[in-house]
Amino acid sequence: MSQEFVPSGFTGPLPPPAFNMAAYAIGQSAHAHPDRVALLVCDQPHGPPTETWTFASLEEACLRIGAGLARSGLQRGDRLVIRLPNTSQFAFVFFGAIAAGYVPVPTSTQLTDRETAFLLRDSGAKLLCSDTAHAPETVPDGVAQLTPDDLAKFQTDLAATTYAETAADDPAYLIYTSGTTSQPKGVLHAHRAAWGRRPMYSGWYDIGAVDRMLHAGAFNWTYTLGTGLTDPWANGAMSIVYTGDKTPDVWPKLMQTHDATLFAAVPGLYRQILKYARPGASGLGPLRHGLIAGEQPPPGLLDEWRADNGRQLYEALGMSEISTYISSSPTSPPRPGYVGRPQPGRVVTILPVEDGTDPLPPGEQGLLAIHRSDPGLMLGYWNRPDSITAEVLRGDWFIGGDLAIQDADGYVAHRGRANDIMKALGYRVSPMEVEAVLAEIDDVAEVACAEIAVRSDVSVIGAFVVPRNPNCPPDPNAIHAHMQERLAQYKCPREIIFIDVLPRTANGKLKRSELSKLGKSRA
């Protein structure tokens, strides 16, 4: 699009100055529809749910936990790290903290003690919510701990607090994501982030109060916390979360048992369902359509899914800093080779890779950018110097590092990452984070990591190691053991490849693309 047609900023309604994310997502529905079911938790594909929460009981649970967090000594704006298993209590702590004006830090139980210790230190958390099985051996001084039993007592013994009087721009939650540094970086979101998700309602989901959203993710994943909980609840709709064994065949059964009308998952799960379950037109109950995000879908997935059962899949592209902002939907049908169009109200353009703020014309590849006025955009990177934040800002635009092309109709085709972030099994992983741990091994002289495409729709992390002694390389099993002790499983390299020298440019810059090609040839 030419520059004169680019609006000056976000064109949708803006949030009110006084705004609490939990009150928006839960409180308004609890007031309007207290007895309506808000959440079903299931651990079996058939039979009744293990937990049923109305909007009124959901609100009560969250506000009681908020009262308990206050009793634990937290002050407005304090951070608390959540490291709980996949139970509803995770969601209650997350929203209860936000309701009371605290800043939760959701994390995965897959993280090692070392990784958890870094998040506790970097976030400056005052509290850790963890069960015994996932509690680290040591925590930094000044960090108190709460167990699931403590949280359960809050839910039964304490009177509910009220929603804190927060502003739309006040910090609401902090998530850590892999970036271009050797450690994860914190992305700080404001309460307005929930309001900033409103363009997804029609621009991706087509969601209404009668819908039942089944999400395949765990409670600790921001994809689940947003798409699976926040957005359905803000619309008065039901959320269905499954906590049992996640084999591909359980999802069609859950859809039929609990009358799911919307299903959200990563693309790879849809491919597994097709391969192992083959639900057909009658095997998905009242499902209207599916939603995919988190990774690029494998070629042909949308056509194969539609041919099997007649339903459409709608794709979305996003990032931790703003969630999804480009998508297809019933009003913006999928177009082959394109993700979709900017969601209603969002202002998106393509900028030159090197420099400049003049949008490129249709069909030219550049950096995908979104206007900084978007209410869904993060407050900034936590505990990072301004120079790092400046790397993603260019004039009035936020640049997340995605290469893309936009056609004359506004459809956006994703062309990969401008930086070296690896995308393996649906996770974004910084190569530098993995390399820093590999470099600790004495017998490793040099190391670099890159994505390896083992199939057209599956990539894994490969570690390319230059041994100190070429005649006696390190034991691959020892390398794997070293990594598994220090990094979450999804960050650990699946392939260890020994090479004589790392490929570099004349200026000494590592050529990761060459590593990816080398890894693919050996896969």
pLDDT category of residue 6 using cuts at 50, 70 and 90: low
pLDDT category of residue 3 using cuts at 50, 70 and 90: very low
- Distance CA(38)–CA(239), nearest Å, equals 6
CA-closest candidate to residue 185, choices 436, 420, 376, 384: 384
- Counting beta carbons within 10 angstroms of the beta carbon of residue 239, is it exposed (0 to 12), middle (13 to 18) or buried (19 or more)? buried
- Counting beta carbons within 10 angstroms of the beta carbon of residue 508, is it exposed (0 to 12), middle (13 to 18) or buried (19 or more)? exposed
Mean pLDDT to the nearest integer, 431-456:
89
CB 371 within 8 A of CB 9: yes
In this structure, what token pair is assigned to residue 114?
Answer: 């070392």
- Counting beta carbons within 10 angstroms of the beta carbon of residue 463, is it exposed (0 to 12), middle (13 to 18) or buried (19 or more)? buried
CB 219 within 8 A of CB 241: yes
pLDDT category of residue 115 using cuts at 50, 70 and 90: very high
CB 424 within 8 A of CB 489: no
- Residue 459 above 90 pLDDT? no
- Distance CA(64)–CA(159), nearest Å, equals 6
pLDDT category of residue 2 using cuts at 50, 70 and 90: very low
Q: Which of 415 and 287 is assigned the larger pLDDT?
A: 287
Mean pLDDT to the nearest integer, 394-422:
89
pLDDT category of residue 432 using cuts at 50, 70 and 90: confident
- pLDDT tens digits, one per residue of 271-293: 899 999 999 999 999 999 999 99
- pLDDT tens digits, one per residue of 43-67: 999 999 999 999 999 999 999 999 9
pLDDT category of residue 91 using cuts at 50, 70 and 90: very high
Mean pLDDT to the nearest integer, 131-147:
89
At 446, is the secondary structure helix, strand, or coil?
strand
Q: Is the dihedral of CA 159, 32, 20, 379 positive or negative?
A: positive
Share of the chain above pLDDT 70, in %: 96
DSSP string, 74-103: --TT-EEEEE--SSHHHHHHHHHHHHTT-E
Mean pLDDT to the nearest integer, 300-306:
94
- Distance CA(150)–CA(139), nearest Å, equals 18
Share of the chain above pLDDT 90, in %: 77
Mean pLDDT to the nearest integer, 61-77:
97
| Mean pLDDT of the chain, nearest integer | 92
From its phi and psi, is residue 337 left (phi > 0), alpha (psi between -120 and 50) or beta? left
- Distance CA(368)–CA(370), nearest Å, equals 7
Provide the 8-state DSSP code for 360.
Answer: P
pLDDT computed for residue 431 by the predictor: 85
CB 61 within 8 A of CB 92: yes
- Residue 419 above 80 pLDDT? no
Mean pLDDT to the nearest integer, 172-181:
80
Q: How far apart are the first and last CA of the chain?
A: 41
- Distance CA(17)–CA(169), nearest Å, equals 8
- Residue 180 above 70 pLDDT? no
Q: Which of 516 and 256 is assigned the larger pLDDT?
A: 256
In this structure, what token pair is assigned to residue 176?
Answer: 């850590």
Strand order in the sheet with 312-319: 51-54, 37-42, 238-242, 212-215, 262-265, 289-292, 312-319, 323-327, 341-342
CB 220 within 8 A of CB 84: yes
- Distance CA(324)–CA(343), nearest Å, equals 9
- pLDDT tens digits, one per residue of 494-504: 999 999 999 98
- Distance CA(406)–CA(366), nearest Å, equals 9
- Distance CA(17)–CA(26), nearest Å, equals 18
The residue to which tokens 């403590």 are assigned: 150
pLDDT computed for residue 162 by the predictor: 96
- Distance CA(280)–CA(162), nearest Å, equals 47
- Distance CA(131)–CA(120), nearest Å, equals 16
pLDDT category of residue 4 using cuts at 50, 70 and 90: very low
Mean pLDDT to the nearest integer, 226-246:
97
Q: How far is CA 3 from CA 12, 398, 486, 504, in A?
A: 20, 16, 48, 38
- pLDDT tens digits, one per residue of 306-335: 999 999 999 999 999 999 999 999 999 999
**438 Cβ neighbours under 8 A, 6+ residues apart:** 444, 447, 449, 463, 465, 479, 482, 483, 493
pLDDT category of residue 390 using cuts at 50, 70 and 90: confident
Mean pLDDT to the nearest integer, 476-482:
95
- Distance CA(229)–CA(238), nearest Å, equals 8
CB 463 within 8 A of CB 447: yes
CB 308 within 8 A of CB 278: yes
C-alpha dihedral (482, 484, 486, 490), degrees to nearest 10? 140
* Least confident among 46-55, 75-84, 428-437, 457-466: 428-437
* Least confident among 85-94, 152-161, 179-188, 334-343: 179-188
In this structure, what token pair is assigned to residue 434?
Answer: 């993995």
Q: Quick one: which H or E segment has residue 106?
A: strand 103-106
* Least confident among 63-77, 306-320, 442-456, 479-493: 442-456
pLDDT computed for residue 1 by the predictor: 33
pLDDT category of residue 417 using cuts at 50, 70 and 90: confident
- Distance CA(263)–CA(214), nearest Å, equals 5
